[in-house]
């Protein structure tokens, strides 16, 4: 599938001179009384608004790289955030444990900007993922006893057809996405180890 770039972005790419602004958008699911929330982050020094969403600064530490291995495990990308406490009520990373974050959609977008004017020309790349796992590592203590607090988020592509065979069932919605809107062949996968289910056509 080919994707056409915005002419302004294409002109910057052809000229070989452009700056990148990386954005990450996370659509977190609600949990109990906590409603769902869409948040955005970038690695600049001040809030940045794009397509109606304000991306918060100074939280997203590293964009991460892809890792993969031989076997059924999906290719993963790990991104890191600062997990230091904050009083910002809109900073969901600071309280991500209060949300149902597993399988939440994440979109990482690279914007191309004009280095001469510092203006955004348009989108260079935009990739969608799902949250696969979240970890909360603590750094070693420094001489004053302080530790760095971070949150590492593992991302995977959103569909089995993209991830490859993982030998796991994500959801009926994933099955529908990969096959057909009315696909139900995996409806009983979660129970077939303990409950006898009939598959296929009956003989009589």
Q: Over 50: is that where the pLDDT of 189 sits?
A: yes
| pLDDT on residue 61 | 85
**Structural domain total, the chain:** 2
Task: Quote the domain boundaries for residue 177.
Answer: 169-204
- Convert the pLDDT of each residue in 87-141 to its tens digit: 888 889 988 999 999 889 999 998 888 877 778 888 888 889 999 899 988 766 6
Q: Could you tell me if 24 and 79 are in contact, meaning their C-beta atoms sit under 8 angstroms apart?
A: yes
123 lies in some domain: yes
92 plus 186 within the same structural domain: no
Confidence of residue 190 (pLDDT cuts 50, 70, 90): low
58 plus 26 within the same structural domain: yes
126 plus 199 within the same structural domain: no
40 lies in some domain: yes
pTM: 0.71
Q: Over 50: is that where the pLDDT of 10 sits?
A: yes
84 plus 33 within the same structural domain: yes
92 lies in some domain: yes
81 plus 102 within the same structural domain: yes
| pLDDT on residue 107 | 93
18 plus 113 within the same structural domain: yes
- Convert the pLDDT of each residue in 141-173 to its tens digit: 666 666 678 899 999 888 654 555 545 555 666
| pLDDT on residue 204 | 56
39 plus 112 within the same structural domain: yes
11 plus 52 within the same structural domain: yes
- Convert the pLDDT of each residue in 47-101 to its tens digit: 999 999 999 988 888 877 766 555 555 678 899 998 877 888 888 998 899 999 9
| Both tokens assigned to 108 | 């990482």
173 plus 155 within the same structural domain: no
164 lies in some domain: no
The more confidently predicted of residues 192 and 42 is 42
Q: Over 90: is that where the pLDDT of 5 sits?
A: no
136 plus 188 within the same structural domain: no
């Amino acid at each position: 599938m080919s994707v056409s770039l915005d002419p302004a972005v294409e002109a910057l790419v052809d000229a070989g001179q452009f700056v990148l602004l990386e954005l990450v958008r996370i659509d977190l699911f609600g949990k109990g009384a906590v409603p769902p929330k869409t948040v955005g982050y970038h690695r600049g020094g001040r809030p940045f608004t794009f397509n109606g969403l304000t991306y918060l600064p100074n939280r997203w530490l590293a964009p991460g790289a892809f890792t993969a291995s031989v076997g059924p495990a999906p290719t993963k990308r790990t991104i890191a955030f600062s997990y230091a406490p904050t009083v910002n009520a809109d900073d969901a990373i600071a309280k991500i444990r209060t949300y149902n974050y597993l399988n939440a959609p994440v979109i990482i977008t690279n914007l191309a900007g004009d280095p001469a004017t510092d203006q955004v020309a348009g989108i260079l790349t935009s990739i969608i993922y799902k949250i696969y796992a979240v970890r909360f590592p603590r750094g070693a203590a420094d001489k004053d006893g302080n530790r760095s607090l971070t949150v590492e988020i593992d991302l995977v592509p959103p569909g089995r057809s993209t991830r490859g065979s993982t030998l796991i069932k994500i959801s009926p919605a994933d099955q529908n996405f990969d096959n057909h809107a009315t696909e139900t062949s995996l409806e009983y996968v979660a129970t077939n180890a303990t409950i006898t289910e009939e598959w296929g056509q009956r003989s009589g």
